[in-house]
A and B are shown apart, each in its own frame.
Chain A
Amino acid sequence: MRSTIFRPGVGRWLTLALLALLALPGLLGLTGCINTRPRPMSVACTMSPAQFVERCSALLTANNYQLIEADPSTNPARVRATRGQRQTNIGENIQYHGPYLLTATYAKGGPVIVTVATTMRRGSGGEEQPLILHTHDEGSGTNPADRQAFAPIMEGLRRACAQP
């Protein structure tokens, strides 16, 4: 029996190539250079830290976030909140987004810095640092459904900061 079409040895290279293909995204994921690197968003602002905490907390609560920290006394002032996982059935498939951890910080004279991440678990305490699965920003690399989770917050902060 002869094999003319597929020569011995080629299969090994194909296996190696596929294993490399499997391993590469894993390495990138593990090193955090694709999805878990910090991607802060900034909003220029002139209000006081107390106003920031008050308005940001109100925005988050109105958008189904649960506050886990809202402290104007720290420098910078910090608000942290989480939102639970949203699940949607699509036939056999399922789509879920979250849980999210949103952190907003502000020091007088600087911009409001907002970071958003999907985390392993929904946080429950101020000191808790949930494991980050992937970070989000307003760029095109973020899933639109994820963007919807924080877009109203960003819009609200921009409006609040634009007020004299």
Chain B
Amino acid sequence: MRCTPTAKLLRVLTLLLLLTGAGLSAPRPAAAQGFWAGSNYKNGLRLYLSKDSTSFIRLLMWSQIWTRWQEQNPGTSIAGNNNVAQTWDVGIRRSRILMHGQLTPCLLVFWIIGANNQTFNTGGGGLQTGPDGVTDGKRQSVFVHDAWTEFKVSRAFSLGTGLLTWSGLSRLSNTATLNFMTLDSPLYGWALLDANDQFARTLGVYAKGEIGKLNYRAVLSKPFSIPEAATGWTTPYTAAQRAGASAMTTLPGRGAGWAAGLTALPNAYDVAQFNSRAFNQPLYQLYTNYDFLEQESQTLPFMVGTYLGTKKVFNIGAGFMIQPEAMWYRSRRTAAPVLPGGVTLNAQQTTELNAGRYPAAITGFSGLPEAQRILLQQANVDTTRATMRHFSVDSFLELPFGPKGEQRSSLTAYAVHYWFDYGPNYVRNAGTMNLASAPTSPGSQTLAFNGAGNAYPTWGSGRVFHLQTGYLFPRAWTRGFGQFQPYVSYSRTNFDRLNQPDNLVEGGVNWLLAGHNAKITLHYRARPIYSAATNLVPGQEGLGGMQVTSRRSEVITQFFIFF
């Protein structure tokens, strides 16, 4: 059942009323700091192990809870319900504990454990008990996110190793999760997210340092392996490929969750996918930036989203992420199509082959004898490995206005431009905390290129520009009511494979009850819906020609506390 505009409006108004009511009913003491502003918090739980405070163990814990109303992508199946138009849910975006130990200022050990993205239907611990036979939402698995050690030689050079958040490419690739300005990360910077990294972390070695006001972080990683079944082909042609069945099948057991879009190498020329046989190829990453005003901390990898006016920062940065042979794709073995001896095609099939159509996409291919199907593909199709190469330039600004205290306001802005190269025509859809179990008709082409749930094209070969800006109003304006920070973001994604770039505008407001330590964020997004693939692109039949046809809305409220 589709939600009428009036019903939608009612839901949004109810949500706003609840939020406003909660604030109005809060006690409002006379102190300018406010009831909510946890001025007594200081630096949180820290156990000092030496008299001079240089040896300590620090503990942080946090939860980010999302309540959402979402329109779903066309053809979304959730928990056995087909073609779900819209739904609501409460989910755990992040729930983590951080431990940071400093034996001396030169020896550091760091650890984060936690869970992410649990919804009522997805994100569970691996028991395949859902109505669709995929992983359900129960018994979320807790895992180690970060585990690394660092040895500091000087301010200019520290060396560390382990399971690392330390990353190259851009500020967003190293983003902190406790001081976002927008609701969450726009994801673009986590360019390998759960493909061959683990939740934006890799096993590797890093060097970091500050030379004057120039900061750098260089990382050499051994990427996680990718199951062959997830992205590869096994022996020359699998049964499904011989039959010409669509290769656009999501991973079994993963539903359309985080791994949506990490599909099998498609039956088409020049459409790249992650290479499950990259084995000994390391991942090289570098990010460097120059601080023109105050210098940011690089003690830990997490880069700040907004300082809420506590620092005056302006920097310009650049970075890269390169992995040889990270990708592969099916290529043409010869410049002109070949009809090998022993293969008999009718006139239409011959025309299609000569027009450059991928052999398995030729009309009636599955009706050919198996030996002929194999001969035809072996004569025409090869596999090429490709280097993954991403580059970015970015800039961050935090500009406080007014004196310190309740009159202070601040402007925060961040802009980044990415040049992504995942190999030809790679596009990956992603939807945070995706509720979908599967497309409504599993195994067939989905009704939208996005796939099911709330996914939309997020990474791909091409260019991405992202800009976010927000303004923190002075506390004096709201006193004990907290502080407000409205923000907007704009992303332009222009992926080679899609026939149309997208301009995505999002917006929201942070209600800062105690700075970043306790805040409620209201966020709105209208994601693009790309049409299902067509046969318009020769060699990529059933895989090209996608255009933005509509948008689907979502309203997300985040309740966030950390200390």
Residues in A lying within 8 Å of B, measured CB to CB: 1-6, 10-11, 14-15, 18-19, 21-22, 25-26, 28-30, 32, 34-36, 84-85, 87-96, 99, 118, 120-122, 133-134, 140-141, 143-145
Contact = CB atoms under 8 A, between A and B. Distances in A.
- Chain B, interface size: which category? 35 or more
Contacts of A93: 176, 297, 299-304
B227 to A, nearest CB: 19
Contacts of B218: 18, 21-22
B213 interface: yes
B295 interface: yes
Nearest to B304: A90
A92 B56 CA distance: 15
Contacts of B562: 91
Given A87-B43, A95-B297, A99-B54, A18 B386 contact: no
Interface stretch (B75-83, B98-106, B504-512): B98-106
B153 A4 contact: no
Given A22-B218, A34-B156, A5 B384 contact: yes
A26 B212 contact: no
Contacts of A133: 105-106, 152, 154-155
A67 to B, nearest CB: 15
Nearest to B562: A91
Given A5-B384, A22-B220, A26-B207, A94 B155 contact: no
29 contacts: A6-B386, A11-B281, A14-B324, A21-B207, A26-B157, A34-B154, A34-B156, A35-B154, A36-B154, A87-B53, A90-B176, A90-B179, A91-B176, A91-B179, A92-B60, A92-B177, A93-B300, A93-B304, A94-B100, A99-B53, A99-B54, A120-B54, A120-B106, A133-B105, A140-B212, A143-B210, A143-B295, A145-B294, A145-B295
B294 A85 contact: no
B173 to A, nearest CB: 15
A95 B299 contact: yes
With a 10 A CB-CB cut-off, give which of B286, B303, B384, B516 has the most chain A CB atoms.
Answer: B384
A35 B213 CA distance: 12
Contacts of B216: 25
A29 B106 contact: no
A29 B322 CA distance: 27
A2 B382 contact: yes
A99 B152 CA distance: 15
Interface in B50-70: 50, 52-54, 56, 58, 60
Given A1-B383, A11-B324, A21-B207, 17 more contacts: A11-B282, A14-B322, A22-B207, A25-B156, A25-B207, A26-B207, A35-B156, A89-B60, A90-B297, A90-B304, A91-B177, A92-B177, A93-B297, A93-B302, A96-B105, A122-B54, A134-B155
A10 B307 CA distance: 42
A6 B421 CA distance: 13
A35 B202 CA distance: 30
A94 B300 contact: yes
Contacts of B207: 21-22, 25-26
B112 to A, nearest CB: 8
Given A6-B386, A85-B105, A92-B60, A29 B302 contact: no
Contacts of B98: 92
Nearest to B328: A1
Contact of A88 (B43, B105, B300): B43
Contacts of A29: 153-157, 209
A18 B282 CA distance: 11
Interface string B160-193: 0000000000000000111100000000000000
With most chain B CB atoms within 10 A of its CB, the pick from A3, A30, A134 is A3
B146 to A, nearest CB: 9
Nearest to B301: A93
A24 B156 CA distance: 10
Contacts of B387: 5-6
B211 A4 contact: no
B270 to A, nearest CB: 12
B325 interface: yes
A26 B211 CA distance: 12
Contacts of B466: none
A120 B281 CA distance: 38
Nearest to A3: B385
Contacts of B154: 29-30, 32, 34-36, 133-134
Nearest to B176: A91
B52 A85 contact: yes
B157 A25 contact: yes
B471 interface: no
Contacts of B212: 140-141
Contacts of A95: 297, 299
Nearest to A119: B105
A140 B383 CA distance: 54
Interface string B319-359: 00010110000000000000000000000000000000000
Contacts of B100: 94
B548 to A, nearest CB: 30
Nearest to B208: A25
Interface string B112-139: 1000000000000000000000000000
B52 A99 contact: yes
Q: Closest 4 A-B residue pairs measured CB to CB?
A: A29-B154, A91-B178, A95-B297, A122-B52
A24 to B, nearest CB: 9
A6 B384 CA distance: 10
Contact of A94 (B295, B299, B303, B307): B299
B513 to A, nearest CB: 16
